[in-house]
Amino acid sequence: MERKGLSGSALKIIAIVTMLIDHIAATVIIRILKFGGYNDGLYQLYRVMRNIGRIAFPIFCFLLVEGFMHTRDREKYALRLGCFAAVSEIPFDLAFNGKVLEVGYQNVFFTLLLGLLTMMAYDAVMNQSRWSVWKRTALSTIAILAGMFAAEFLSTDYGALGVLCIMVFYLFRRSRIQQVVFWMSGICMVGMGSSVCIRSNLLLQWKTWLWNEIFLLRILSGASADPVSDRI
C-alpha cells in the first residue's frame, strides 16, 4: 500500500526552511531596524518571518521523537546530536550575539539533546518492571523535571518548556492530534515570552499561533517516519 503523508525528509526540509526564515529575521532584519531606523513595513515583515519560524521547533521535536523510537543505537544518536549542537554553537553565537562564544545562551540543538537524554532517562526508569508503579512514576517525573532544569540552567533556546514539549510529543506519540493539541498550550506560553511579541498585539499573536498550529496539525497528521528519521 502506498504511504500517504509527508516523509521525514520532507518535514526536515520544512523545518530547516522555516528556521532559516526565522534566523534571517532575527539576525539581519532586526539589525536593520535597530541601526537603520524604524520602518513599519520592514517591522511587519520581521514579525511575519518570526511567526513562520515558530513552525520549525515543533517539527524538530516530532522528528527527534521519531528518530528516538526508530534508531538502532540511541547512544550514538545522542552523540551525533551533541556533536552537531557543539559545531553549531560558534556560528549561532556569531550570528545572534556577535561573539565567538556566548555562554549565556545556547542554540536549539542543545535543547533537543537535553530532550533526547530526558527521553532516555524516562525510558530507563519505566523499563524497570520490578519497581512499583508509584516508584516508576515518581522517578520518571523527576527525570523530566531534571531535563527541564538542565535546559534552564544552561540557558538553551526555549529552555524548560522546550524539553517539556519534546516529552509531550514522546508521551503522546500514538496520537498526532493529542501531540499538537498539547503542544499548542506550550508554544503559546513560549511565544508570549519571546522577542516576537515585542510591539505586537497579544490577540493577534494568539490568532497567528492558532493558524500555525492548525498548519502544524495538518502536516503532522499524515506524517510518518522513514529510514532517515533517526539521522541528524
pTM, two decimal places:
0.77
Q: For residue 152, is it within any domain?
A: yes
Tens of pLDDT along the chain (232 residues) come to 445 556 777 888 888 999 999 999 988 898 888 887 778 888 889 988 988 888 888 889 889 998 999 898 999 999 999 999 999 998 888 888 778 887 778 999 999 999 999 999 999 999 998 999 999 999 999 999 999 999 999 999 888 888 988 998 898 877 666 656 665 655 555 554 444 444 444 444 444 555 555 555 555 555 554 434 454 4
Q: For residue 2, is it within any domain?
A: no
Residues 180, 217: Cα–Cα separation, whole Å: 6
| 11 SS3 class | helix
Residue type at 229 in one-letter notation:
S
Q: For residue 215, is it within any domain?
A: yes
**What's the number of domains the chain is made of?**
1
Q: For residue 211, is it within any domain?
A: yes
Q: For residue 22, is it within any domain?
A: yes
Count helices and strands (H / E) in the chain.
10, 0
Q: For residue 217, is it within any domain?
A: yes
CA 208 to chain centroid, in Å, comes to 18
For residue 182, CA distances in Å to 177, 179, 189 come to 9, 6, 12
Residue numbers of the domain that contains 213: 8-221
Q: For residue 228, is it within any domain?
A: no
The closest alpha carbon to 110, from 74, 90, 82, 143, belongs to: 82
